[in-house]
Structure 1
């Protein structure tokens, strides 16, 4: 189960930006005229934010489960002062309270632009562009979860223009019949249409369409990587930052057959009763007639359906958006600079907040569900070797030590291995890759989670507050060290977006490009970042052996 989730856990629900908008200038786009709102980020610099720009026609009625259609041009000036609504999704884990926007299937396909209102002295062709793709396990959240004013203060202040986008989620974004009726991947087609809109319009906002970086975390990281591979999207940007998620992660993509079976079974679970003569079109028509509320999903799926810990709807190898396997597409895709990495304890977040059995016996059952006899050659031996690798020096009755190992196993299998493998493959193919492990955390920055997590450490989402400026596990009230980390992270990210190198324009090379012959060498990010040779404590070779045995 993957999520960028519970993303503002512990924050109070607030109005967008907390104050009445100050109108900015009018910009004419291919879709029509829009007016944004002004954010003052320091004494003499202003960013104009254009929030909730529609980039597609409402995906309702006959357009539900279809590729997005570009928005028809509107006639009047559109005031883009507030985030657009979320895609339909179940409100769980306090998300109904924590999200600042409501849900509306008809109006959810929007994007946001944060444009510096000063000319770039270094980049006369326009500000380098960063496009943020939110996470949430492909089931939940929206761009509004990740802030506006703080994002402008952290990234736009570095001479960057930033875009964030919404896309369809859950059943709305990834349902498939496995044929021409509905191949799925609507959420990825949404992202692609948003990238095309940016290409065609971003110059009017002072951005450079020829210097675009796509970045995202968790499911957003997986999306970023997958977009760099598909022939429909890979030429729409130039650099990519997949964080804690990529196309090599087990959660990120399925075969068409597997996702089709889940989709059809779920339709029946919801109440669809096919007659013998009915086909996929009839099933889609039945689903189009249902209220959006019936079809909403969260990370825990629907009670009574599916397996625990599995996302119901994800991207699939559909034969169109992905005309070949991920392996083949990765080899043939144009090489892009990429910066990628994980936090030190990715699994901590999930182990602490899900119903995963936190015992040695529970981990045995997790491995039985994950390394199944019908999907892995020699599955029983692989499960035994995995348990031996992690627990050989642990008293299995010591709850604290067992939980630490469970956190490692969960994070390694679901996230860490995929990132490590992608970095290795891309470097071997000739891409310039920068791999990191984020170890920094503020023990006072966990809010209510401090009392829920089995221990404290850098975990899923921990790095985001230092890039985007918004609390993603609790309300962000930075101390002196946090401010140092904000500078470290925003320097790395802005340098990469500008130059394709997180070191920036300097002869000093703190962060070495990845060498596929030394796959565990990486930058450990603390208050004093340094190159290290033990990515995730050198545990990835085990999972390389496991995943090579997949049938």
Structure 2
């Protein structure tokens, strides 16, 4: 049995490494209402359908803007609303103080500034906007493996410089995380997906509120990274969201990824329910609602072990439940989903910090491998890892050896590496399984379903070079776009231009390059935009051969590792 202090999940540990520029809870950014010479000024007040809200004025590098922080978009999900779908908030008569962020959503014990009562959003807009304006809107959904993160982890100045200065309003939201966001029994007792339902409620609330702030409710783009990108993917598949947003951007996340959809969250839930003593009661929801928050959070630490030796690094995640999406396969869901412009993004080597452990945890032998093994990682090491992690009898039955050899042989001849060849092939396998193939598969399937506005980019800009593993890691594009580059600020400006033009027109382009949509009727190739210095370029094909390999492997053996389950053709 693990203790509270030694639990941090593989995903959270890796995320702390890859998001080295992310704002942490111990260094949170505060947003005073100041002019450029640091004299307090009177903030704006907006009258909304729910009540008046006072905001702040702040100075970014490129613009003086306004922010309205900590706006509740739902009733507190506590008491009899815990583990339930969110409900619209009550209206208020006194002006709401919008000068401070709301609490982050609690997901582990002893978190500062965290609470179950956390469903709030923040609005950043051009100064002196009014209800007659019609600014397009970005709704930012943060990442964190469905277990961590918060809207308050991002500087409002960064959003103002990248997007508000270009005439776009930005809304950032919190949503329930971990056990409170994704507990599921796999049946009607607790279906789960509460974090996704929070996002739907936030988008519904924004439709009502954003005109008061000068935003155009018909020009809303849902935009997320990592688990936020996967959340956007989930949202696009729900037909009832058609009126809630018109465009989507998913950075490094797809609902079809092994870490974003499996029933592993049901296993985690059952372990927690047993630990808190609610496993033998007649009224499970009532039992769960009566248990103190701290006991539930401690149970998540003592009852659940971190996941090693599997590409599915998530402990909590959304799932196909027949309610949020009524189809029981992603193929069916895509066919029935609204056809809206969707921009997908990837980094050139996503899984470096998921496949390699920089903490050298002794409990992991094959995935992740300890960093000290990378220098001498051999052909035998690579083959052993594939056989142990992927080519198991639990997955492939009597064909386990054959399936392992197919994977090993394919990656031996694909990849132009000049050093640390087998370590790089190893990382590439898991980058493909965890990020690349699910994302490209979703893009191609949506295009085949008749969506003519599917676009892809790949970020190739390396933030912090690894001496063994080439390429840009998970969250590198987040750093280029949102946090900004001091060494190459022109790339940040150009990337922001690409995104802003997509938000405004539905097509990503800059002054010198225009993205081409994915069009399977014309070619099996996947055109993409490459983000790198000296400037962004248009390229002909992004890893279509990898997608073809994993599709063929799934069809041949009946199990689909990028999806994390048997192939959808076998699901009835």
TM-score by length of 1: 0.85
How far apart, in 1, do the equivalents of 2:155 and 2:114 lie? 17
Residue 197 (1) aligns with residue 205 (2):
yes
Q: 2:404 aligns with which of 374, 383, 388?
A: 383
The answer to whether the 8 A contact 1:357-1:363 is kept is no
Residue 542 (structure 1) aligns with: 549
Q: 1:285 and 1:496, CA in 2 relative to 1: closer, same or farther beyond 3 A?
A: same
Residue 5 (structure 1) aligns with: 15
Equivalent positions of 1:462-477 (< 5 A) are 462-468=476-482, 470=483
Residue 36 (structure 1) aligns with: 55
CA-based RMSD: 3.1
The answer to whether the 8 A contact 2:28-2:153 is kept is no
Name which structure has the greater RCO, CA cutoff 8 Å, separation 6+.
1
How far apart, in 2, do the equivalents of 1:363 and 1:439 lie? 28
Equivalent positions of 1:320-359 (< 5 A) are 320-325=323-328, 326-353=330-357, 355=361, 356-357=368-369, 359=377
How far apart, in 1, do the equivalents of 2:396 and 2:141 lie? 32
Residue 458 (1) aligns with residue 477 (2):
no
How far apart, in 1, do the equivalents of 2:467 and 2:461 lie? 17
Residue 7 (structure 2) aligns with: none
Equivalent positions of 1:19-418 (< 5 A) are 19=32, 22=40, 23-41=42-60, 45-90=63-108, 102-106=113-117, 108-117=118-127, 126-255=134-263, 259-268=265-274, 270-272=275-277, 274-275=279-280, 278-279=281-282, 281-282=283-284, 284-296=285-297, 305=305, 307-308=307-308, 310-325=313-328, 326-353=330-357, 355=361, 356-357=368-369, 359=377, 361=381, 364-365=384-385, 368-370=388-390, 372-376=392-396, 378-391=399-412, 400-418=420-438
The answer to whether the 8 A contact 2:517-2:527 is kept is no
Q: 1:366 and 1:171, CA in 2 relative to 1: closer, same or farther beyond 3 A?
A: farther
Q: 1:224 and 1:211, CA in 2 relative to 1: closer, same or farther beyond 3 A?
A: same
Residue 493 (structure 1) aligns with: 499
> What displacement does 1:370 show?
4.1
> What displacement does 1:20 show?
5.3
How far apart, in 2, do the equivalents of 1:115 and 1:245 lie? 27
How far apart, in 2, do the equivalents of 1:478 and 1:305 lie? 40
> What displacement does 1:467 show?
2.2
TM-score by length of 2: 0.82
For structure 2, the 5+ residue unaligned runs are: 1-9, 35-39, 362-367, 371-376, 560-565, 567-572
The answer to whether the 8 A contact 2:386-2:408 is kept is no
Cα distance per residue 1:398-432 (max 9 Å; x no partner): 99332211211111100000111111111112221
Q: 1:379 and 1:235, CA in 2 relative to 1: closer, same or farther beyond 3 A?
A: farther
Q: 1:477 and 1:302, CA in 2 relative to 1: closer, same or farther beyond 3 A?
A: farther
Secondary structure of 2:104's counterpart equals coil
Secondary structure of 1:197's counterpart equals helix
Cα distance per residue 1:256-279 (max 9 Å; x no partner): xx54344213322x242644xx34
The count of aligned residue pairs is 513
The answer to whether the 8 A contact 2:31-2:58 is kept is no
Secondary structure of 1:335's counterpart equals coil
The answer to whether the 8 A contact 1:17-1:149 is kept is no
The answer to whether the 8 A contact 1:41-1:153 is kept is yes
The answer to whether the 8 A contact 2:423-2:469 is kept is no
> What displacement does 1:315 show?
0.7
The answer to whether the 8 A contact 2:462-2:472 is kept is yes
The answer to whether the 8 A contact 1:119-1:126 is kept is no
How far apart, in 1, do the equivalents of 2:502 and 2:467 lie? 33
Q: 1:138 and 1:453, CA in 2 relative to 1: closer, same or farther beyond 3 A?
A: farther
Q: 1:512 and 1:315, CA in 2 relative to 1: closer, same or farther beyond 3 A?
A: same
Q: 1:435 and 1:274, CA in 2 relative to 1: closer, same or farther beyond 3 A?
A: closer
How far apart, in 2, do the equivalents of 1:72 and 1:422 lie? 38
Residue 424 (1) aligns with residue 444 (2):
yes
How far apart, in 1, do the equivalents of 2:162 and 2:30 lie? 15
How far apart, in 2, do the equivalents of 1:19 and 1:115 lie? 16
Cα distance per residue 1:188-222 (max 9 Å; x no partner): 11000000010011010010001111111111111
Q: 1:273 and 1:200, CA in 2 relative to 1: closer, same or farther beyond 3 A?
A: closer
Q: 1:402 and 1:56, CA in 2 relative to 1: closer, same or farther beyond 3 A?
A: same
